[in-house]
């Protein structure tokens, strides 16, 4: 902790310490995107999963950079299009979820809390 002391005035000491705290807080809050648990840039690839007896990717697992209990999972169809993007906390769906058809068109989006879909989850039907 940074402390600046002035022997003459207690009020001045308090003001300077507060100013430094505000500057440090504003700098750290600018990095909030770097701490967002649903920002895929904050995840590190951990494992690639393949379809059985092929070298074709069926999924990827990413761990959150500072908390391995948080996982982002991407799954793919055999034609290499994205099938789903999911977030997990302690091995349960937790956070946003997107499901796509084989043409890459979004057909489901939702939000989960500890494996339970919330009421605002939506199934989209495409003509």
Summarize pLDDT for 15-68 with one digit per residue, the tens.
333 333 333 333 444 455 667 999 999 999 999 999 998 888 999 999 999 999
pTM for this entry: 0.69
Out of 6-20, 59-73, 78-92, 106-120, least confident range: 6-20
Residues 6+ apart with CB under 8 A from 57: 48, 49, 50, 51, 76, 80
DSSP string, 76-91: E-TTS-EEEEEEEETT
Per the CB < 8 A criterion, the answer to whether 59 and 80 are in contact is: no
Mean pLDDT (the chain) is 77
Per DSSP, 100 falls in state: E
């Amino acid at each position: 902790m940074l402390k600046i002391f002035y022997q003459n005035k207690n009020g001045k000491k308090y003001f300077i310490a507060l100013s430094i705290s505000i500057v440090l807080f504003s700098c750290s809050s600018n990095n909030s995107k770097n701490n967002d648990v649903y920002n895929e840039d904050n995840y590190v690839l951990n494992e690639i999963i393949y379809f059985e007896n092929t070298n074709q990717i069926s999924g990827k697992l990413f761990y959150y950079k500072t908390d391995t209990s948080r996982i982002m999972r991407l799954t793919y169809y055999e034609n290499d299009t994205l099938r789903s993007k999911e977030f997990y906390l302690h091995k349960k769906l937790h956070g946003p979820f997107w499901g796509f058809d084989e043409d890459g068109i979004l057909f489901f989006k939702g939000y989960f809390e500890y494996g339970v879909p919330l009421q605002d989850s939506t199934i989209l039907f495409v003509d």
